[in-house]
Amino acid sequence: RKYKRKTNRGNTPIDEVKRAADAVTRGQSVRAASRDYAIDRMTLKRCTDKRAKDDRASAGYKTLSMNKLVIPGVMESDLAAHIVHLADMFHSVTVIKCCEIAYEYATANHLEVPNSWQRDKRAGRDWWLGFKQRHTLTIRNPEATSFQ
Q: Where are the domains of the chain?
A: 14-59, 73-135
Amino acid at 87: A
d(CA 14, CA 21) in angstroms, rounded, equals: 10
Buried b vs exposed e over 86-118: b needs ≥16 C-beta within 10 Å?
ebeeeeebebebbbebbbebbeeeeeebeeebe
User: For 74-101, what is the mean pLDDT?
Assistant: 88
pLDDT tens track for 121-145: 999 998 998 888 888 887 777 676 6
Interatomic CA distance for residues 61 and 59, integer angstroms: 7
The Cα 18–Cα 26 span in angstroms is 12
pLDDT at 67 over 70: no
Count Cα neighbours of 130 within 13 Å in the Cβ-side half-sphere.
15
pTM above 0.75, yes or no: no
- Pair 17, 39: CB distance under 8 Å: yes
CB 97 within 8 A of CB 142: no
Per-residue model confidence as pLDDT tens digits over 34-61: 999 988 898 889 888 888 876 666 655 5
**Cα–Cα dist 22/28, whole Å:** 9
- pLDDT at res. 40: 87
